[in-house]
Amino acid sequence: MRVDVSHRNINLRRPRGTESALGETMKILFKLTAVAALGLAFANAHAEPNKYPSRQVTIVVPFSPGGGTDTTTRLLAQKLSDLWGQSVVVENKSGAAGTIGAAQVARAKPDGYTLMMGNIGTQSINPSLYTLPYDPKTAFAPITQVVELPLILVVNSKSGIGSVKDLIDVAKKRPGELFFSSSGAGSSMQLAAEAFQQAADVKMTHVPFAGEGPAVTNLIGGQVNVTFGTVMGSGPFVKQGALKGLGVTSAKRYPTFADLPTISESGLEGYNSVSWVGLVAPAGTPKAIVDKVSQDVKAVLADTKFSEQLISQGGLPIGSSPEEFTKKINDDFLVYNKIIKANNIAIK
């Protein structure tokens, strides 16, 4: 039997209104899927801090072992390891005033498992001295300032200079003839001295050394006249009597040198030039994780015995919020950028 379909009109069109109804259905399904995805992302974002850390955390120190930043990091790493129940490893990645280690962390996966213990140099000073392979303002998520590191203005105990006022008087009478040592060009030691000269309206001559050790040794030996040393590097020599402490650079007196006045209360009102170290993470690290680490560090710093241990190592515990630390980094950049430009400080 033959079926003739040559003239049959087959209508394959959907009933009127079907297309618009189907479109509306797809839109609704898309919206529901998007809402579900957002809900899942939201849930994951908020669940993650409760699970963090679920494995080893690495804290990169962009300096050699044994320095102040390294010592503080190792003490903190042990406390965080105890708190988290996970291994916290300290990895030293030194070179180029901290920029090599910082660049490594800037490129790290922003998941909270690679952090860096930066300092005033890596975060606030280096941008004015080096051409960096990263933008420190956008490459990192500040977590917390861990400690403040005041410096001590010291002279040779045989110099006859007994106070900040004495030093200023001598420097005014002999402009450019007093030599101050530092741990290197652009270091916090030099910048503290430059800020002092600016505030006191005096002029001294800078002699940079490769580290605080030789800077202090040459002061004791009489090759230079003054330095701004750390509590750990210069403090012991003040205690022994080889050096004379004139004042501390912080806004408040330092607990282990309570008899030393601040430079501000010694006549240069408002003077405050301190170093510091603090934790940062790669930019893009979830805010919830950044906040958790910040809160956990603050809790650890609240422990009296641990706080006293840090103070004995020259660091005053801070434990700031991410927002406070961000402001600190930016404020110090503006202060030291101005000093560096005014004094034509350059790395040769």
Helices 287-301, 68-84: axis angle to 10 degrees equals: 100
DSSP states along 92-159: E---GGGHHHHHHHHTS-SSSSEEEEEEHIIIIIGGGTS--SS-TTTSEEEEEEEEEE-EEEEEETTS
In the predicted model, is pLDDT for residue 18 greater than 80? no
Domain boundaries in the chain?
57-149+274-342, 151-257
pLDDT of residue 4: 41
Given a cut of 80, whether residue 254 has pLDDT beyond it is: yes
What is the rounded CA–CA span in Å between residue 281 and residue 285?
7
Which DSSP helix (H) or strand (E) runs through 61?
strand 57-61
Q: At 307, list the tokens.
A: 């706080």
Do 58 and 91 contact (CB within 8 A), yes or no? Answer: yes
Whether the domain at 57-149+274-342 and the domain at 151-257 fall into the same CATH topology: yes
d(CA 282, CA 110): 5
Model confidence at 48, pLDDT cuts 50, 70, 90, reads low
Residue 166's pLDDT is: 98
Phi, psi of 343 (to 5 degrees): -105, 10
Summarize pLDDT for 57-94 with one digit per residue, the tens. 999 999 989 888 999 999 999 999 999 999 999 999 99
Residue that has been written with the tokens 């998007």 in this structure: 34
pTM of the model: 0.83
Q: pLDDT (tens digit, 9 = 90+) per residue, 132-162?
A: 999 988 999 999 999 999 999 999 999 999 9
**Mean pLDDT across the stretch 279-284?**
99
Confirm or reject CATH 3.40.190.10 for domain 57-149+274-342, answering yes or no: no
For residue 23, pLDDT beyond 70 = no
Radius of gyration of the chain from its Cα atoms, rounded to whole angstroms: 29
Helices 322-342 and 188-200: crossing angle in degrees, nearest 10, is 70
Neighbours of 151 (CB within 10 A): 29
How does residue 241 score in pLDDT terms, banded at 50, 70 and 90?
A: very high
Query: How many whole angstroms from its chain centre is CA 115?
Result: 11
Q: Half-sphere exposure of 238 toward its Cβ, with a 13 Å CA cutoff? A: 26
Q: Count Cβ atoms within 10 A of the Cβ of residue 39 and give its class: 0-12 exposed, 13-18 middle, 19 or more buried.
A: exposed
For 35-44, how does the pLDDT look when each residue is reduced to its tens digit (9 = 90+)? 444 443 444 4
Q: What is the pLDDT of residue 49?
A: 61
The answer to whether the CB of 317 falls within 8 A of the CB of 311 is: yes
Q: pLDDT tens digits for 175-217?
A: 999 999 999 999 999 999 999 999 999 999 999 998 999 999 9
Q: Span 325-343, mean pLDDT?
A: 96
Three-class secondary structure of residue 244 per DSSP: strand
pLDDT number for residue 164? 98
The per-residue pLDDT for range 214-233, each reduced to its tens digit, is 999 999 999 999 999 999 99
Which is the CATH superfamily of the domain at 151-257? Periplasmic binding protein-like II (3.40.190.10)
Q: What is the pLDDT of residue 50?
A: 74
33 or 339: whose pLDDT is higher?
339
